[in-house]
């Protein structure tokens, strides 16, 4: 009587132990092979995580600054020359019902600011001298980080407030009694330094002077060049539609009306376009890592022919050999993927916290990273596993 024995089945614990033998005995090679997978997955997780964190930071910034600020600036006539806004434009705009705040600045084109009169006239540091109304920081949702802003008294005198970048270019990081800068032909005393004005970057590199002082000391004509308008949030579009005609009733087509918060949205779109590039680079790194895993598995099959022959002689089926080497490749890729997810998440946390953003790592980032690693492991290990399974036991044992 002939007894036929059914092939044994590998339990998951046995499969995990056998599959990890090659990794445990060749640790350096395994680590280097997994490194490529880790770099690719880390790139993908970091790009998606930083993008999501950046979006969250941008939304928080927009919520803080508000989307209800509009700007009215000078336009151009048919010849291309700039047309000044009427002096009455701010007061006319303030009469619009939904308008809550109106502040303005006027560029003093004939004035330049310097640290001292000894600096050559050509070294202007690209600073702009502007006359300003007195509640500009509140409307722009920025703050005075040093000193104080202009008031009814200092707006009449030769005093200035420096924008954030202007202060840096002039080498001033604090305000003290007697601190001054040279504007055109006389000294102006510094009374304050503004923080960054996100919605009005033109203020950052400006030297701000009160309207009365600009007219008295610099010959300023008094025409505003930019008017900042805050309206009721639910009526921004309605206000937008009437601003030009209100600011300059005679020539509304020569007035430019804008919404600064739109620029933040455009910047986010530009970042999203770059994200595609970085994701592509991460995919290339992942592909290179997959080639490394495949190379490692091919070499492993060649080096372990004796082990394969011995296992086949002891009753292991081709399926056992195939699943062993396939699982070894998957395990190698998963280890690299897990390391990549950790590194990518760490990079996201560090960078987001340095920018004061909320840390956001989308589930599709780390889940997709791990699944991509598993897929790479399957693809990279399939051919070596099939090759090992087809190896005849007698031929494999000849290498023992």
* Sign (positive or negative) of CA dihedral 378, 379, 384, 387: positive
Residue 51 and residue 74 share a domain: no
Helix (H, G, I), strand (E, B) or coil at 356: coil
Residue 117 and residue 187 share a domain: yes
Torsion of CA 391, 394, 395, 399, to 10 degrees: 120
Which of 243, 259, 275 delimits the end of a domain?
259
Which of 226, 259, 292 delimits the end of a domain?
259
Residue 300 and residue 215 share a domain: no
How far is C-alpha 189 from the chain's CA centre? 38
How far is C-alpha 166 from the chain's CA centre? 25
**92 domain residue, yes or no:** yes
**3 domain residue, yes or no:** no
Q: What is the predicted pLDDT for the residue at 234?
A: 83
* Integer angstrom CA distances of residue 10 from 16, 317, 327: 10, 10, 12
Q: How many domains does the chain have?
A: 2
Cα–Cα distance, 130 to 224 (Å, whole number): 9
Residue 241 and residue 275 share a domain: no
* Sign (positive or negative) of CA dihedral 38, 40, 44, 49: positive
How far is C-alpha 89 from the chain's CA centre? 38
Which of 259, 292, 326 delimits the end of a domain?
259
Q: What is the predicted pLDDT for the residue at 160?
A: 97
Angle subtended at Cα 232 by Cα 226 and Cα 233, rounded to the nearest 5 degrees? 95
The domain of 293 spans 12-62+265-397
Residue 72 and residue 57 share a domain: no
Residue 228 and residue 97 share a domain: yes
Residue 101 and residue 44 share a domain: no
Q: How far apart are the first and last CA of the chain?
A: 35
Q: How many CB atoms lie within 10 A of CB 151?
A: 12
Query: pLDDT tens digits for 276-289?
Result: 666 676 677 777 77
Residue 141 and residue 83 share a domain: yes
**380 domain residue, yes or no:** yes
- Which residues of the chain fall below pLDDT 70? 1-11, 13-16, 18-19, 21-22, 59, 61-63, 65, 261-279, 281-282, 302-303, 306, 308, 314-315, 393-400
Helix (H, G, I), strand (E, B) or coil at 363: helix
């Amino acid at each position: 009587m002939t007894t036929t024995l059914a092939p044994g089945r590998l339990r998951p614990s046995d499969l995990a132990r056998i599959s990890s033998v090659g990794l445990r005995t060749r640790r350096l090679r395994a680590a280097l092979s997994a490194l490529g997978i880790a770099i690719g997955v880390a790139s993908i997780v970091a790009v998606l995580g930083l993008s999501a964190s950046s979006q969250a930071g941008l939304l928080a910034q927009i919520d803080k600054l508000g989307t209800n600020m509009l700007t009215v600036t000078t336009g151009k006539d048919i010849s291309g020359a700039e047309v000044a806004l009427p002096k009455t434009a701010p007061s006319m705009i303030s009469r619009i019902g939904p308008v809550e705040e109106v502040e303005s600045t006027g560029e003093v084109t004939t004035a330049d600011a310097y640290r001292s009169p000894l600096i050559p006239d050509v070294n202007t540091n690209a600073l702009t001298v502007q006359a300003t109304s007195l509640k500009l920081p509140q409307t722009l949702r920025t703050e005075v980080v040093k000193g104080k802003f202009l008031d009814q008294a200092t707006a009449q005198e030769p005093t200035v407030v420096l924008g954030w970048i202007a202060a840096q270019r002039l080498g001033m990081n604090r305000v003290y009694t007697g601190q001054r800068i040279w504007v055109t032909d006389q000294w102006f005393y510094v009374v304050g330094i503004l923080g960054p004005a996100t919605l009005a970057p033109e203020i950052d590199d400006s030297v701000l002077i009160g309207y009365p002082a600009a007219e008295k000391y610099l010959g300023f004509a008094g025409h505003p060049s930019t008017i900042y308008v805050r309206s009721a949030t639910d009526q921004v579009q309605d206000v937008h539609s009437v601003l030009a005609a209100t600011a300059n009733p005679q020539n509304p087509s020569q007035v430019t009306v804008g919404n600064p918060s739109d620029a933040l949205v455009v910047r986010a779109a530009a970042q999203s376009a770059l994200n595609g590039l970085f994701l592509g680079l991460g995919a290339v790194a992942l592909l290179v890592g997959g080639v490394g895993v495949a190379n490692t598995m091919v070499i492993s099959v060649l080096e372990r022919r004796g082990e394969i022959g011995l296992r086949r002689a002891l009753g292991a089926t081709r399926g056992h050999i195939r699943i062993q080497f396939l699982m070894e490749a998957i395990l190698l890729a998963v280890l690299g993927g897990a390391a990549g997810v950790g590194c990518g998440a760490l990079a996201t946390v560090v960078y987001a916290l340095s920018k004061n953003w909320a840390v956001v790592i989308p589930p599709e980032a780390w889940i997709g990273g791990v699944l991509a690693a598993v897929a790479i492991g399957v693809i990279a290990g399939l051919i070596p596993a099939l090759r090992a399974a087809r190896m005849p036991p007698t031929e494999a044992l000849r290498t023992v």
